[in-house]
Structure 1
């Protein structure tokens, strides 16, 4: 080993604390940068692996007339398609709970459920229930499960032999909606297909082999599925007519036979009134039979399944956050590392001078310090990248099991993120060493072997304010002079503390703001508690009679509710909810419409529409612009944007009945009720929904509390990531503060030893440094408040979805925790510094290098 190499390793040994600090800061930066960047792709990859393993269908069809083997063959005409028909229906189960009931067949290939306990149903009287039925409703293995008679099954009682998860239902909180019971599906179940009284299958699952390598929650996959769905619709277009003929054939054959008999009788007896009447009856019967058989299909893809859209939004949101937060985190770490390495090389100016005097070349001397920085940067990057890529995604996936079905962790190696972390790390370590070594090597050996001349003292601004300056004691004056004398150190400490505060505050801000989107939407804007969809041709008064019989009913407002597609300036926004009413003043009690700018209350105008803020942003329109609208039933029209309203969840358009008629040239018909209710329990809500469905005047009831739970679950899903942010930000803040204080003490050890020799007590010597830390901590915290708000606002903007706007909101608790942590870290660092200064060797420190 060469003398220079020995010196480098000795230097690492003698400054082990600083070397470890460099590694630790780089490690933390790389850990969160690589780890969080890997989390979004890992969530997607884990879901992809799960749905691929369970062979989840890409497209599902439901038919009004059922499916046969011919339909399976028809579906498989589309290139690469694998199709499977199954029996399925919604029924009322035990305790009146709505169940999505599937017929199980051994050897089933698609949408395979995965057992979590027990076994599959083998005997006719066996049933497997959703894991949610066990977790939420307390069912157990071996219990008897009873269906009511209207479920129309071969038998009514079954033995529970297993609990399972299904790729069709990845969200633990929701199972979709149905047109039976209270309208909300509680769980799914599988019984032997032979026990379902159905002559044909009711559901057709289709899977495409070529789509299984695509990321299931991306727009790319959605485009591929849309193309496949288009091909399926093309092959099924003639199939609908053929299916009608299959079903009509027996009836038409019978009618044709009767027709032939009448024709024979007519030839023999002539066209008597009786024969004419029979012919008319047969013709009417034929028309009625044809009209009664009409095959139509309902199509859905994976994104229409409960939870898929929310899961995709969640992983996208984490990916958006990962593009901002870890970068800022890493920049703070890199900045402090840069300072540490710079100080390390500056301390070695005497050795550099000695090496130059001994005849070593500039490059040979520089390599010694570059290798020191390189080793620290590489070790920190490798450790941080490996730990981050392995741990953070798995922690998040493990904690996601509370919201989604258990996923097998699949974490792709983030080579690109690790490479970026390596580049940043080397810039902060080797780059800093190169810059400072270059400056040092430009000096003469004799100058390098002398201590750098201290900065000359200058009057600071506070000294010019004489009345204030006179009130300060000696120690205070020294502290203020030192603060402004070493400006680079002052700003570096402020930036380090501000960065740590901002990162902690941002962690809380992300969580609080996402939660605020739901709480504000359903308190300030949506003031009704339920929406009742009226049956066709039903009058609002009929449904109101059912509502009025409930003790929790307060009032209701009849509205025309629809879904529309909007276009403007070449932009398009699909699936926008429309509410029209003939009582604009009364609407205020149900929906709080306030202008996005200014906050003034909005009253629906006689002409023009009111858009919510996200819809307006997506279309790129402002007040006064024109938009084009096309409803689901094909009505089109154009109208002016009269106002843009604050809104956090969903895309909605509001207008008066008169504006609706002017815009679409059709008179609106009330088809829904916005209902205000007193506080209800879940059981009371379900009871009311069942009564409305049973009356025949309502197609279904949706409660805002369920929607609010869905929105609030977004915050819960981000909790693991946010907690990781806060924890690691706190660790980084402590390491940064400790490192900067160590640098400060090392730079001023002669000065501190001098005041100690002059008779200052240990506490006074510590406060010589500590007072500056307290001032800089306070300034850093204030800057951190501003930085935290700016960073949170930017991240929220990046994390927005086409459906949700996140208002900037950081709770007082977040500020308190961030402040308390920074003050606590400062206190701990001051205590450690105090213990160090008590043991300082004053004689050694005051030795002259001259």
Structure 2
């Protein structure tokens, strides 16, 4: 081994703590940078693998008249399409729970359920339930499951033989809505298809082979699905006519036979009144038969399935956070590494001078330190990238099983992100070494072998404040002077502590802010607890209120016109915007708290113009006074001035008065919904009331805001694993940074510390000589960290916004408390380690001069 190589390895051995610290800092930076950047793609890849294994359909088609083999054949005329007809309907199940019921046939190819226990139905009396029914509602294998008579099945009682997950229902917290029972589907179930008692299949699943390589949660996939959906619609446009003809054929055949008989009677008896009456009845019967058969289709894609869009939003939020938080984390790590390597090379100026004096060339000397930095950078990057890429995504995927169906973990290695981490790492290590070595090699050997002249002391600002300066004792004055004497060290420590505090605070801020969006929306803005959609016909509002009046939890209600509309302005379009119109603008304030985004003053619905929520206005690039074009689902169109923009966190909504509605759209608004305020209710009480309203015929359905709030809160739960990893790794980074900077401080001032020990300072006083500076810098760093944490959180929240949700900046007191306590604790631990080290300093060796 060459002498310079031996020296490098000896240098690593002698400064093993610093070498390990450099590796650890780079490792942590690369771990969270690569790991979090890999999490979003890994979540998408895992979902893709799972739905591919279970052969999830791309398009689900519902028919009002059912499907036959001809429909399957028609669908498969589209290139690459695989179709399968299934019997399906919503029914009331055991305990009054709404069930999505499927007919099971052995050998089904699409949307295969995955058994978690038990087996598939083998006999006519066997049923497989959703695994959610076992987790949430306590059903067990071997238990008897009973359907009410109105389910209209071949039998009412079944034996539970299995529990399963389905790719149609990836979100464990929701199963969609229905038009039976209380309107909320609790779980799905499979029974033998023969027991469904349906004349034909009611659901057609279609899967396209060419789409299975596309990422199912991306816009690109949605665009590809729309293309295939258009092709299917073209096929089924003619198929609907054929299906009507098939269903009408038996009836028309009988009517044609009757018509022939009637025609024969006409020839014999002529046009008698009796024959005319029979002809009129026959003609009316024919019209009635034709009117009764009308095939309509309802189209759904994967994005319409419960939880699919939320899953995509969740992975998008993680990807958005990964574009900011890990980058900031890595920059802090790289900055501290740069400082550490710089100080390491500066300390070696004596050895560099000796090598130059011995005749070694500049490149050979520089290579020694460049290799040292390269080795530390490469080790840290490789270990951090591998550990981050394969640990963080898998941890998140494993924790996702509480909220989503078990995913097949697929974690592709992010070579591009790892390469970027390597570039940053090598810039921080090799780059720092190259810059400092170049400066050192420019000096003469004789100058390098002399210690660098200490910085001269200067009067600091505090000294000019005489009344304050007089109150400080000697040790305090020395500490303050040293702080400003070594400004680069001071700023590095402040930046390190501020960065750590900001990162920890940001972790809490992300979680708190996402939770706050739901909390504020459904307490400050949405003050009603339910929306009751009224059935068509006059008197339905009074009928619904009659049922509500009998409920002890009912407080009040207001009738509104609820609709959906597409809004267009400045070349931008926003679809499916919720529209609420009221004929009582003042009373409406009791149900919806509208406040101006600027100034926070209350908004009363104006007689002309509309009030838009802030996200809607932002997406359409609208300001107060601008014009927006409105088109409702009924086809009514008009243009309106934006009268105000209201603060809002969840959803896109347009509010207006009935008077403004009629002016803008030219039609008289009809109240079709009730906004209802309740006292606190249990889930069981809410479900019972929803069933009563639906059963009465007065309402089409009831939706509760508590369910919507739970969905929003679920967004925060999805990020819990990532936020926890952020906080833990930020804490570790903060500790390593603080420890490393303190070690550098002690190493650079070891002669100074040994001198004051020789002068008679006690061990505690020597420790406080250094630690007092750390305490001051810790306090200053924490304060800077508060500001940095708020700015970083605000930026991340802006990046993580979805088309439906805005996240208000909110960091709880516990977030500040934990960040502060951790930084103080780290400072205390480092003080303890420093105290132990300083007690064992060899003063004679430290004070030896190399002059």
TM-score (norm 2): 1.00
Aligned counterparts of 1:242 and 1:549: Cα–Cα separation in 2? 50
Structure 1 position 533, deviation (Å): 0.4
Match of 1:395 in 2: 395
Structure 1 position 77, deviation (Å): 1.1
Match of 1:647 in 2: 648
Q: How is 1:686-765 mapped onto 2 (pairs within 5 angstroms)?
A: 686-765=687-766
Match of 1:666 in 2: 667
Aligned counterparts of 1:80 and 1:668: Cα–Cα separation in 2? 46
- The C-alpha deviation readout for 1:413-462, integer Å capped at 9, x for no partner, is 01111001000000000000000000000000000000001111111111
Structure 1 window deviating more from structure 2 (457-466 vs 564-573): it is: 457-466
Match of 2:211 in 1: 211
SS of alignment partner, residue 175 of structure 1: coil
SS of alignment partner, residue 674 of structure 1: strand
Gaps of 5+ in 2: none
Structure 1 position 352, deviation (Å): 0.4
SS of alignment partner, residue 85 of structure 2: strand
Match of 1:5 in 2: 5
Match of 2:776 in 1: 775
Match of 2:194 in 1: 194
Structure 1 position 2, deviation (Å): 0.7
SS of alignment partner, residue 259 of structure 2: helix
Aligned counterparts of 1:417 and 1:204: Cα–Cα separation in 2? 42
Structure 1 position 315, deviation (Å): 0.3
Q: How is 1:541-556 mapped onto 2 (pairs within 5 angstroms)?
A: 541-556=542-557
Aligned counterparts of 1:87 and 1:533: Cα–Cα separation in 2? 28
Aligned counterparts of 2:468 and 2:203: Cα–Cα separation in 1? 83
Match of 1:594 in 2: 595
Aligned counterparts of 2:761 and 2:730: Cα–Cα separation in 1? 36
1:273 aligns with 2:273: yes
1:570 aligns with 2:603: no
Aligned counterparts of 1:722 and 1:838: Cα–Cα separation in 2? 40
Q: How is 1:528-543 mapped onto 2 (pairs within 5 angstroms)?
A: 528-538=528-538, 539-543=540-544
Structure 1 position 837, deviation (Å): 0.2
1:579 aligns with 2:611: no
- The C-alpha deviation readout for 1:114-157, integer Å capped at 9, x for no partner, is 00000111111110000000000000001111111111111111
Aligned counterparts of 1:677 and 1:461: Cα–Cα separation in 2? 63
SS of alignment partner, residue 60 of structure 1: strand
Structure 1 window deviating more from structure 2 (109-118 vs 147-156): it is: 147-156
SS of alignment partner, residue 629 of structure 1: strand
Structure 1 position 79, deviation (Å): 1.1
Structure 1 position 830, deviation (Å): 0.3
SS of alignment partner, residue 579 of structure 1: strand
Where in structure 1 do 4 or more consecutive aligned residues deviate above 2 Å? none
TM-score (norm 1): 1.00
Aligned counterparts of 2:363 and 2:780: Cα–Cα separation in 1? 41
- The C-alpha deviation readout for 1:773-831, integer Å capped at 9, x for no partner, is 00000000000000000000000000000000000000000000000000000000000
Aligned counterparts of 1:304 and 1:848: Cα–Cα separation in 2? 77
C-alpha root-mean-square deviation of aligned residues, in Å? 0.5
Match of 2:46 in 1: 46
- The C-alpha deviation readout for 1:652-688, integer Å capped at 9, x for no partner, is 0000001000110000001100000111111110110
Structure 1 position 185, deviation (Å): 0.4
Structure 1 position 307, deviation (Å): 0.3
Aligned residues: 850
SS of alignment partner, residue 746 of structure 1: helix
Aligned counterparts of 2:316 and 2:366: Cα–Cα separation in 1? 45
Gaps of 5+ in 1: none
SS of alignment partner, residue 102 of structure 1: strand
Match of 2:621 in 1: 620
Aligned counterparts of 2:476 and 2:13: Cα–Cα separation in 1? 38
Aligned counterparts of 1:252 and 1:194: Cα–Cα separation in 2? 29
Aligned counterparts of 1:652 and 1:637: Cα–Cα separation in 2? 17
Match of 1:827 in 2: 828
Match of 2:483 in 1: 483
Structure 1 position 469, deviation (Å): 1.3
Structure 1 position 189, deviation (Å): 0.3
Aligned counterparts of 2:4 and 2:746: Cα–Cα separation in 1? 28
Aligned counterparts of 2:683 and 2:4: Cα–Cα separation in 1? 76
SS of alignment partner, residue 503 of structure 2: helix
Aligned counterparts of 1:690 and 1:721: Cα–Cα separation in 2? 39
Match of 2:233 in 1: 233
- The C-alpha deviation readout for 1:743-782, integer Å capped at 9, x for no partner, is 0000000000000000000000000000000000000000
Aligned counterparts of 1:638 and 1:226: Cα–Cα separation in 2? 29
Structure 1 position 251, deviation (Å): 0.6
SS of alignment partner, residue 360 of structure 1: coil
Match of 1:344 in 2: 344
Aligned counterparts of 2:251 and 2:461: Cα–Cα separation in 1? 102
SS of alignment partner, residue 90 of structure 2: strand
Structure 1 position 186, deviation (Å): 0.4
Match of 1:14 in 2: 14
- The C-alpha deviation readout for 1:232-266, integer Å capped at 9, x for no partner, is 11111011111001000111111111111111111
Structure 1 position 634, deviation (Å): 0.8
Aligned counterparts of 2:505 and 2:578: Cα–Cα separation in 1? 36
